[in-house]
Amino acid sequence: MTRFATLPEMIAAQPHEAVALMAPARDPLPYGALAQLVRHTEQQLRAHGLARSDRVALVLENGPEMACAFVAVAAACTAAPLNPAYRGEEFAFYLSDLGAKALIVAQGSESAAIEAARGLGMLVLQLRADLAAPAGSFALHAAADPPARAQPATPDAAPAGATDVA
């Protein structure tokens, strides 16, 4: 059995045309496209000043975009998925306890996590699903009224590894 040090290594080792993810009524996402999505997501996170060691909370409903977002964020930073059903005070506690620097929610979300994150001065990113593209495809965009952010992070020498967990 082959062992991989990083998620991008594992994804890159798969046949590029092989199916990585499927969802009803959507074209399947091949590994080659997943690898591109992971690279693009890392670039977006770095452009917002997030480094490999930063924790990024994800509050997304289960589905192909959540699956791909978790993989893409975990390849670039420390991913911390949180239950979308939490109440405001629960989000405030978990976001603070995690030391999360950013929150990812679905575009148009009215989750209590957004107010909790803003109260902690966190960056809020919206995930916009691309329903015309293969399953799981998305792009990240800064939500309105983001807090002041540092300069874009310099890419780390090594991608996120097995010990980068929240």
Over residues 58-69, the pLDDT tens digits come to 999 999 999 999
Q: What is the pTM of this model?
A: 0.86
The percent of residues in the chain predicted with pLDDT above 90, rounded, is 84
Q: How many CB atoms lie within 10 A of CB 15?
A: 9
pLDDT of 114 above 60: yes
Q: How far apart are CA 2 and CA 26, in angstroms?
A: 31
Give the DSSP letter of residue 77.
S
Pairing mode, strands 55-59 and 102-106: parallel
> Using 50, 70 and 90 to split pLDDT, how confident is the model at 110?
very high
Residue 63 tokens, joined: 């589905």
N-to-C CA span, the chain: 27
CA 27, CA 159: separation in Å to the nearest integer?
29
Predicted local distance difference test score (pLDDT) of residue 162: 59
With cut-offs at 50, 70 and 90, classify the pLDDT of residue 2: confident
Average pLDDT over every residue of 67-75: 98
What pLDDT was estimated at residue 122? 98
CB atoms within 10 A of CB 16: 14
Q: Is the pLDDT of residue 91 over 80?
A: yes
Give the residue among 56, 59, 70 at the shortest CA–CA distance from 98: 56
Q: Which residue has the tokens 């693009």?
A: 40
Distances (CA, A) of 27 to 16, 120, 134, 144: 15, 39, 5, 31
Q: Could you tell me which residues come within 8 angstroms of residue 86 by beta carbon, excluding any fewer than 6 positions away? A: 59, 94, 112, 113
CATH topology of domain 26-142: Rossmann fold (3.40.50)
